[in-house]
Amino acid sequence: MIDVALAGTGGMAPLPGRFLTALLTRINGQMLLIDCGEGTQITLKELGWGFKNLGCICFTHFHADHTAGLPGLLLTIGNAGREEPVTIVGPAGIRRIALSLLAIAPELPFSIQFVEIPSRTPFSIEMDQFRLSALPLRHGLDCFGYCLQMDRVGKFSAEAALALGLPKPLWGRLQRLETVEYEGKTYRPDMVLGPPRRGLKVAYITDTRPRPAIPDFIRGADLFVCEGLYGDDELLNKARDHRHMIFSEAATLAREGQVSELWLTHFSPAMPFPDQFRGNAARIFPNVKIGRDRLCKTLVFEEE
């Protein structure tokens, strides 16, 4: 399963009661954060998931409302007792940006590993329990959307394992996709596992104009978190000028990508009550929520 929390929902500047947009995920206790604007550590503290197990921070781009909270957050992670490395993922140049910010936090008790995404190039890496993919977006500088996917192996067949004469102590290794040797023979996981089952997918897109590649990138996501800087359709030209989206555009992407649920976020400071524009998205994609700070959801595998 994947626990998901929308840590903040604001764009451009934090407001009283609205922190800047960030998304926190948790898989088997290990956490990944996407974006870290000013004050992110405060809303994470209110969320209550802790800090020690936050091992990966991804950045969509280098505007301050997505990056300025990094030094304070890393200091808080260190004060929570973390000594294991923290991985920071972002566009090319993330090492330079992060190290500049960390000039005011020079003594961290853990090392930092950097993963730089090549400019304008689709990207995917395998992490401990999931796959992280990135897609180039259309903003004023290099910007990426992210997908986090948990794959699920096929169902284990005890009957097949018994027919092969495999003792039960070896079953777990095959379920973990290990190849095993037993009595001079090699046994592969596919000999005892059925076809792969549907996994889980979370997609996160912000600070961009719609792109033709986005629906395929987010396709089938259990949860799609997308920016809606403006709710009013009449502000479309303003959104175009600033390379952002309105609610109806985000909803169109959700429909085209055949996602299960849409959360809107990254609201303009000039839109204090985004709920009043929900209908502009719901008429296109009904299963939409207006994001609020620390909105949470647990995604679980489908029952069979």
Is there a domain that residue 303 lies in?
no
291/263 Cα distance (integer angstroms): 6
User: Is-catalytic flag, 190?
Assistant: no
Catalytic residue among 65, 207, 222, 293: 65
Residue with tokens 């996917």: 149
Virtual torsion, Cα 42, 47, 51, 57, nearest 10 deg: -80
Compute φ and ψ for 183, nearest 5 degrees. 50, 45
Global pTM? 0.89
Q: Are 30 and 14 in contact (CB under 8 A)?
A: no
295/23 Cα distance (integer angstroms): 10
- Give yes or no: residues 30 and 172 share one domain: no
- Looking at 171, 195, 219, the residue that finishes a domain is 195
Is there a domain that residue 183 lies in?
yes
Q: In one letter, which amino acid is 175?
A: Q
Is there a domain that residue 41 lies in?
yes
Containing domain of residue 229, as a range? 2-153+196-290
Here the CATH number for the domain that contains residue 45 is 3.60.15.10
**Residue 14 CA, distance from chain mean position:** 21
- Give yes or no: residues 98 and 138 share one domain: yes
205/218 Cα distance (integer angstroms): 9
Is there a domain that residue 295 lies in?
no
Residue-wise pLDDT tens for the chain (304 aa)?
Answer: 999 999 999 999 999 999 999 999 999 899 999 999 999 999 999 999 999 999 999 999 999 999 999 999 999 999 999 999 999 999 999 999 999 999 999 889 999 999 999 876 678 888 878 899 999 998 988 999 999 999 877 777 788 878 888 888 878 888 777 888 888 888 888 787 777 778 899 999 999 999 999 999 999 999 999 999 999 999 999 999 999 999 999 999 999 999 999 999 999 999 999 999 999 999 999 999 999 999 999 999 886 5
Q: Are 264 and 211 in contact (CB under 8 A)?
A: no
DSSP codes, 17-41: TBPBPEEEEEETTEEEEE---TTHH
Number of domains in the chain: 2
Compute φ and ψ for 2, nearest 5 degrees. -130, 125
- Give yes or no: residues 182 and 38 share one domain: no
